[in-house]
Structure 1
Amino acid sequence: MRAVQVDEYGAPEVLRPVELPDPVAGPGQAVVDVAAANVMFLEVQIRKGWGKEFFQVSPPYVPGSGVTGRVASVGEGVDPALVGTEVVVDTGERDPETGRAESPTGGYAEKAVAAAEELIPVPDGLEARQALALLHDGPTALLLERAARFEPGQRVLVLAATGGAGSLVVQLARRAGAHVVAAARGAEKLALARELGAEHTVDYSEAGWQDRVREITGGKGVDTVVDGAGGELGASAYPLVADGGRFVSYGASSGEFAEVDTDDAERRGITATGLLDLQDGKGDAEYSRALTEQALELAASGAFRPHIGRTFPLERAADAHAALEARTVLGKVLLIP
């Protein structure tokens, strides 16, 4: 089968098309003919050598952690009626205790093998590529929604508002009746944010963008910040949170999460929630699957929709990574074998 492999850490060019043996389904497994593979910024960071303390990934490896397609074959102990079913599924090595994927590998290929119990059928009314775009960002957006506790009339600032999860958060906040200020980079992304429901937009690549947010809110600041950027940019949004508000941060596109002065947060009554707080106690496979199924059903019902910014042929995985690093993509990036 055709696949893309990383033989050494480095620039996008280390993503190299290769021919590998077709995977065979073992007991409890299924092989999926891949129609599309998800591309996440996390995979970009791991390709460069980041996150070794979190992920057991080292070259050579096939990147990718989510695919959609039809079940081609099943192993011992798996219902053969699954063959032909259109599914989405995580790939990669599994944590033996939680059953969750712990290494984002195995997705950039024509065929992928996964645990049959992890296969999630694509619901009626939802296109397979949209389902794939929600596989990881859908559950993340729902966790962010629960942490942020969106309410009617609430003032919400969303950073990286046109990213995979950020674009869903904008829609969830508006659905709850909140007033959304979307922060992103460039006119094209700001236009998409308005299309998704943001009432106001600010370009955080421009000097004084924080003053613009204060102006929009009449000097009151916002009740909640949902930070998908992290690093210095995320930290610079923290002072915009009004006393008693919430700062929910999950992004680390710069390689670092936003740091918050915990003493200041306590003094001002601000609840600061990080990515690990979102996942604490919710890391089991059953909970993750329930969140994914909820996200898929919401999308199928029209409650929100993922935005697929670009698709690339499988062999152009390097171009897909380069586009993500250049911050030129609106929404999700997918590879098509």
Structure 2
Amino acid sequence: MKACLCKAFGPPSSLVIEDIADPVPGPGDVLVRVRACALNFFDTLIIQNKYQTKPALPFSPSAEFAGVVEAIGEGVEDVAPGDRVMGYLGYGGARELVITCEDRLVKLPDEVSFEAAAGLTVTYGTTLHAFRDRAKLQQGETVAVLGASGGVGQAAVEIATIMGCRVIACASSDEKLAFARSLGAAETVNYSTQPLKETLKGLTNGEGVDVVYDPVGGELAEQALRATAWEGRFLVIGFAAGEIPKIPLNLVLLKGCDIRGVFWGEAVVRDPEGHQENMRQLLEWVGQGRLNPHIHAIYPLEDISTALEEIAARKVLGKVIVTP
């Protein structure tokens, strides 16, 4: 089979495409032929050894995929050869065949394409877990989404809107904010030209936002925290800005607010049933036409380096899909 391999840590240009042996499923394993896999910002970090997950070399990038079950090992009961599935690996999806366990797979309805499903698991799974499980988001609340045009930011705008909330999209350009409005954002903040805290306060009549969704970190985090309402919830999603902020804890005390970590990858391991439930909810919304994941571009496996360079350069609006 063909696989994209990271054989030495470095930029996307250092990745290679090679033929390697087909994997063979053992007891409890499921072999899936990958029809589409998705790339995320953390893929640009993991290939440089700058991410919290540090796989042994060589490995393939891409944490999420969709495809068809090719074979199963002894003891597998929930899926069978021929089933359409979507799944999560952590890394290793950018190849023609992958091995995983059935707990990491969700059956895919016929009406959902492989390309749409491939990009659902990480960004939309993270976001639904953040809003439903961590923030206990309620209809009618106001949500500020930082980095609103990126992968998880897009998902946050869409899901918060579906859940009946008022979304304030925050991003670094008017183009990105126009995209966020097309996804359902009610208000926007361009934090390259507007002060984030003061603008969020102004849009909420001085009360502040109920929930902050922050995949960016850096200097924006403290500004957004200062704009939370009494008993607000600040969701720590990631640090795309590259800097992990140091938050003055007196702000948490004075606002009676919570800072809540969203470690979705670990939540999948610790609560597989909750993960399955969230995935089924996402697929239901897609099937109903309420959720329409925006695909920025679809690349062949041979062009995966170009795709990752686009993500690293912040040129992507939505999901980037690769078809092995």
**Percent of aligned positions with the same letter in both sequences?**
33
Q: Deviations along 1:10-37, whole A, 9 cap, x unmatched?
A: 1111211111112222222222221111
Q: Deviations along 1:22-66, whole A, 9 cap, x unmatched?
A: 222222222222111121222211111113xx4241322222222
Task: Give the TM-score taking structure 2 as reference length.
Answer: 0.90
CA distance 1:246–1:117, shift in 2 (3 Å): closer
Q: Deviations along 1:161-212, whole A, 9 cap, x unmatched?
A: 1222322222232234322110123233211211111111122232534433
Q: Deviations along 1:49-108, whole A, 9 cap, x unmatched?
A: 113xx42413222222221111122233446982121111223xxxxxxxxxxxx33211
CA distance 1:81–1:200, shift in 2 (3 Å): closer
Match of 2:319 in 1: 332
Q: Deviations along 1:279-300, whole A, 9 cap, x unmatched?
A: 6797233332232222222322
Residues 38-49 of structure 1 mapped to structure 2, 5 A cutoff: 38-49=38-49
Counterpart among 116, 119, 123 of residue 133 in structure 1: 119
Aligned with 2:219: secondary structure? Answer: helix
Are 2:122 and 1:121 aligned?
A: no
Aligned with 1:136: secondary structure? Answer: helix
Deviates more, 1:123-132 or 1:34-43: 123-132
Match of 2:88 in 1: 90
> In structure 2, how many angstroms separate the alpha carbons of the residues matched to 1:145 and 1:56?
28
Match of 2:159 in 1: 172
CA distance 1:272–1:279, shift in 2 (3 Å): farther
Offset of residue 152 of structure 1: 4.3
CA distance 1:314–1:305, shift in 2 (3 Å): same
Q: Which amino acid aligns with 1:139?
A: G
> In structure 2, how many angstroms separate the alpha carbons of the residues matched to 1:116 and 1:196?
33
Aligned with 1:297: secondary structure? Answer: helix
Match of 1:266 in 2: 253
Match of 1:208 in 2: 195
> In structure 1, how many angstroms separate the alpha carbons of the residues matched to 2:267 and 2:76?
32
Where does the alignment leave 5 or more consecutive residues of structure 1 unmatched? 92-103
Q: Which amino acid aligns with 1:19?
A: D
> In structure 1, how many angstroms separate the alpha carbons of the residues matched to 2:122 and 2:268?
18
Task: Give the TM-score taking structure 1 as reference length.
Answer: 0.86
Aligned with 2:55: secondary structure? Answer: coil
Q: Over aligned residue pairs, what C-alpha RMSD do you find?
A: 2.5
Where does the alignment leave 5 or more consecutive residues of structure 2 unmatched? none
> Number of aligned pairs?
323
